[in-house]
Every structure is written in C-alpha cells, then in structure tokens.
Amino acid sequence: MLNLIQDVLESDEKSDLRQFASQLHHSEKKYLLRNDIVTAFSEYCTTHKKPEYFYRSSHLGQLVYYTQEIILENELLYLIIRPKIASQEVYRVLEDLTVEPVSVQELLDLRDRRPPRTGFPTFLRLQPDHSRPQEHRQGCQLPQPLPVQ
C-alpha cells in the first residue's frame, strides 16, 4: 500500500491529496470511518468538478477505496489501510506530504489520546436484572409432593 501512496505523491494527484486532506482538516470530524471517508471523497470530487473516472480509477480513488479509517491530529493525517482481510497498514502523512509508517504501539497511543466517541444509542439490556437477589430464590414453583399413606 505504500506503493499506492507513493504513486499518488509522484503523480499529478499530489495536489488533490493535499486539497482533500485540507478539506478533512476543516471538517468537524477528526475520526472518519470508511463510509465517512467515501462520502467526503465524493463531496471533494463533486466540489472540484473531477471527472467520473477520477472517483474510481485514479490513484487517489484507489487509496480512498482501501482506507478504512482516517484519524486527524493537529496537521497530521493517519491512514489505516486494509489491503486484504486480517491485515492492516498504518501511515502518517505530514503537512509536507511526507509519509511515515506507524507502529502498532503508536496507533494504540494515538487512539488512547482521542476522546471517546459519544452519541451512540444505548443498547437494550439483555441480561436479567440481578439487583434484587432475593427474587432469585423464588424461582419456579414445584408441585407439592403427594402425602405418603
């Protein structure tokens, strides 16, 4: 995937990557998942009047296709790319478009620094309520044994 990033940086699409990164930095979201990334790139292509093929077959379009998460921190852009199932590559794109690989520990530290996401709906409680243990003794009522004669 580093080759794909290098292809973007060595082509005419370098300025597009810079503009797309700038658009992301100006948005209110600092953590984007795949759907957010695809939507933002689609808006970028529409706003900058890019041809239809650019969205799907350009180097930048391919990079967006494989990018699963983007984390924005200060002027840095972290790309979490999943080229295939069960594999992940993480890169840091600096302001001058220098690309550096990121270790797993650095990614974990980065995620720890981010504030937790809020706004998720509360899930229904699927476990029984154990707040009153005396009710557990009630259990099911068994029939009384027959008297012995």
**pLDDT tens for each residue of 25-81:** 998 888 999 999 999 999 999 999 999 889 888 999 999 999 999 999 888 999 999
How many other CB atoms are found less than 10 A from the CB of residue 104? 9
Cβ contact 68:25 at 8 Å: no
**pLDDT tens for each residue of 92-107:** 999 899 999 999 999 8
Residue with tokens 């209110």: 28
User: What integer is the mean pLDDT of 110-114?
Assistant: 81
Domains of the chain (ranges; CATH) run 2-113 (3.10.450.330)
What residues contact residue 7 under an 8 Å CB cut-off, 6+ apart?
Answer: 59
CA distance 99 to 37: 19
CA distance 91 to 99: 6
